[in-house]
Structure 1
Amino acid sequence: MHNKLVKFVQDTYQTKEFIPLHAPTFAGNEKEYVNNTIESTFVSSVGKYVDQFEQQIEAFTGTAKAIATVNGTAALHTALYMAGVKSGDLVITQALTFVATCNALYHMGAEPVFVDVSKISLGLCPKALECYLEDNAFINNDGFSQHNVTQQVFRAVVPMHTFGHPVELEELMAVCVKWNLKLVEDAAESLGSFYKGQHTGTFGSFSAVSFNGNKVITTGGGGMVLCKNYEEGMHTKHVTTTAKVPHPYEFFHDEAGFNYRLPNLNAALGCAQMEVLPKFIQQKRALAQQYNNFFADSEFTFITEPDYAKSNYWLNAIICPNSETRETFIKETNAQGVMTRPIWKLMHRLPMFQNAKRGALPISEWLESTLVNIPSSPVNNGQ
């Protein structure tokens, strides 16, 4: 199968050169907008492209307010901060995620609690979440969830839309309401993905998107905080700009803030990328269908979007029949110049999170041992 896949991928991308997992595509006005920024000298955190980029994201996702940040981790840190997460709090998330999800919590002094993911979405499982809370938490007199043993407050739930596939949001939201938990979506990978017609990242009060070089669109680095409420969004923007009170020349800051604003130079790139985002998603969904057909009669299972969702298919993935097959598959495809890779190490296997509280993780462990990501860059096939 690995030899067949190599040929299929080489034919699809029409090259026998090295084929990465997900490369940025620049096919629009990127050079023009970046050159305009350089000529204007407004290359830092003030400039027309920052505002324009935020407005484009607002229009595309339907969020009340979007705030551009230097990267996705900064966006998630800001989202958690605005959601009220404090040092010492417990925040429930998935062990099957990129490390940035937990790094944001670590640097806030909050502790991640890991529950299992769902086979349906590859993201946080609402049943596993409910079971963990029933076994380990109680509602205190103030209406907050507390840990049975440590008495720490469970402040928030952070599902991650794995590879762009939306989690079971309605079910997760119902659990959050029951246990008085804030929902903060890690939508880093899911720009262009929709849950029952509504864009991911618009269900939680605050959410985070990433524009890293390997995402559906890129600003080089960059991220975005999506805010459900406009007034809270304006406060978020204030916080990310060092909480500086506007004044012609005086420097006065009315609260502790972050220096997290996205430079205009990066935003210019993002504006151009947003113009071709619908085309990218169309191409990526077409590629996913081709992969699905390719693996249909094999012992490998191609990961498809949940029935309730329309996914951007950021990274395509397959399930191998066992871990031995997976290791051979990864080794042989990479040796032939087609990049494939395993899913992330589960977070509790990393030294800084090895003592984190967690529930049973059978689905996460199964995916860790059998899942492989395969090349997913948009393919320009005349669409």
Structure 2
Amino acid sequence: MSLLAPPLSLYVHMPWCVKKCPYCDFNSHGLRGEPPPYAAYVETLLADLDADLADFGAAARGRAIVSVFFGGGTPSLFAPALIDRFLDGARARLPFAHDCEITLETNPGTVEHGRFDGYLAAGVNRLSFGIQSFDDAKLRRLGRIHSAAEAEAAVKSAQDAGYANLNLDLMYALPEQSLAGALEDVERALALTPTHLSHYQLTLEPNTAFAAHPPPLPDDDAAWDMQEACQARLAEAGYRQYEVSAYAQEGRRCRHNLNYWQFGDYLGLGAGAHGKLSDAAAGTVRRRWKTRHPRAYLDAAGPARVGGDAAVARDELPFEYMLNALRLIDGVPMADFAQRTGLPEAAIAAPLAEARRRGWLVEDPQRLRATALGQRFLNDVIEAFLDRAA
């Protein structure tokens, strides 16, 4: 089967935040002492992009960028002029689609109205607010630096600046949270009329403060009740679930995340950033990640910024593909599997048949889609495709 080059995105990692949250396992670093070298970091990002384009050659050059995502850390610590500098530099190196979605993650405690105006002028057309909860006691327990009132004010300020495409991040199953509390968070979010909501369960990740000293969390049954009740309320309000933890108004799905779930390509720039690129000529899917610590990333040159780089083994491609595609509620066309992996459908015939027999996947030869049961036991479904390639 021929491997076809899918859409291409940019992920840009901004590693600093005001302080590290106790549940966070991302590559983020709290501010200490002198302010970080923000301007130098942006120039290093562009040098990083140059190096990737030189290494990946025709597999990357000339392909239009369909989305850009500034993640972190807290990207809103970077001034609008620096975001503008990066975007101008990236556009000089790669064509951007005319409707390119450009998202900036923001912390409600680190932005003010003037910055929203500046981000919009720089070309950022979508904001993602890390709110997590509208309960001040829960926010303090989560180590957040903002209050519920500050979160609401920040969202309204962005809307006043002209932003019409906003995501709010919410968590549920928080320490000692009740079902009523989880629903109240959803109601407060809906009152702000975002176009998109990310709603996901707090989990204890290894090497975090919460993992070392676990707070009292709701049990699995209580967490499931919260998930179902919040899903129903979001659906009632017109937010359709399209991914395990993502809900959107009509036409407002996150294109960048969709590209991940559909096994698209993305260049990863910044400390600890991961990327994936399909080389149609070579018939390979390649992953590359950058060195994690910001200081090491800044001090490195060229190849030294690369923390690792390898083609995905053919027998790992089915698992990697399903790990993404089956998160989508509507699934993906069956034909996409061959086009995005270069493998024939026969490579997954056995686990596919078993997953359908168990009621995990819909009986549809034209589409890969998990049933409601499969969505609930998604990890088991995905693991069925591990090391099963023919």
Is TM > 0.5 for Structure 1 vs Structure 2? no
TM-score scaled to structure 1, two decimals? Answer: 0.29
TM-score scaled to structure 2, two decimals? Answer: 0.28
Name the structure with the higher strand share. Answer: 2
Structure with the larger RCO, 1 or 2 (CA within 8 Å, 6+ apart): 1
